[in-house]
């Protein structure tokens, strides 16, 4: 059974930083593009970025909205994906999901974690 479990959320200070982790199981992690997506309260889905798979040299793409503040990394030996976000703003308050992209369509995300809530407070 595929499982993605995010951790690291909570209450963080305005201007501070966060590090989220996503631990995967039940599939060959190194074969998959891995994604971070967030959802602000009552709002839609926002893609933050991705780590491509080993075959694509683990290259990273970021959304323009977080580029420069965001670092995505992965450790295939731990089946883990990470998100670092700094200079936090109130509008970074959201549920943060990790997801895996299908092999057939890299913009389709077939497995999702339950998400971890991040609240940025002043």
Partner 1 sequence: QAGLTQPPSVSKDLRQTATLTCTGNSDNVGSKGAAWLQQHQGHPPKLLSYRNNTRPSGISERFSASRSGNTASLTITGLQPEDEADYYCSTWDSSLSAVVFGGGTKLTVL
**In terms of CB distance, is 9 or 16 closer to partner 1?**
9
Q: Provide, rounded to whole angstroms, the least separation between the CB of residue 117 and partner 1.
A: 12
Which residues are at the interface with partner 1 (CB under 8 A)?
Answer: 35, 44-47, 50, 61, 63-65, 97, 102, 104-110, 112-115
Under 8 Å between Cβ of 109 and 99: yes
Q: Provide, rounded to whole angstroms, the least separation between the CB of residue 118 and partner 1.
A: 15
Do strands 116-121 and 10-13 pair parallel, antiparallel, or not at all (unpaired)?
parallel
**In terms of CB distance, is 16 or 47 closer to partner 1?**
47
Q: How many CA atoms lie within 13 A of 90 on its CB side?
A: 2
Q: What is the dihedral of CA 8, 11, 84, 39, to 10 degrees?
A: 90
**In terms of CB distance, is 23 or 63 closer to partner 1?**
63
Element (H, E) at 30: none
Q: Provide, rounded to whole angstroms, the least separation between the CB of residue 89 and partner 1.
A: 16
Q: Provide, rounded to whole angstroms, the least separation between the CB of residue 91 and partner 1.
A: 14
Under 8 Å between Cβ of 3 and 27: no
């Amino acid at each position: 059974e595929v499982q993605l479990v995010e951790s690291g959320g909570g209450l963080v200070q305005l201007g501070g930083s966060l590090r989220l982790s996503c631990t995967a199981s039940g599939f060959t992690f190194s074969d998959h593009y891995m994604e971070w997506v967030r959802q602000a309260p009552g709002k839609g889905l926002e893609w933050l970025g991705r780590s491509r798979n080993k075959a694509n040299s683990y290259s990273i793409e970021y959304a323009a909205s977080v580029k420069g503040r965001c670092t995505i990394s992965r450790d295939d030996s731990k089946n883990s994906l990470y998100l670092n976000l700094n200079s936090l703003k109130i509008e970074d308050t959201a549920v943060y999901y990790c997801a895996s992209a299908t092999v057939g369509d890299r913009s389709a995300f077939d497995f999702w974690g339950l998400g971890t809530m991040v609240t940025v407070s002043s």
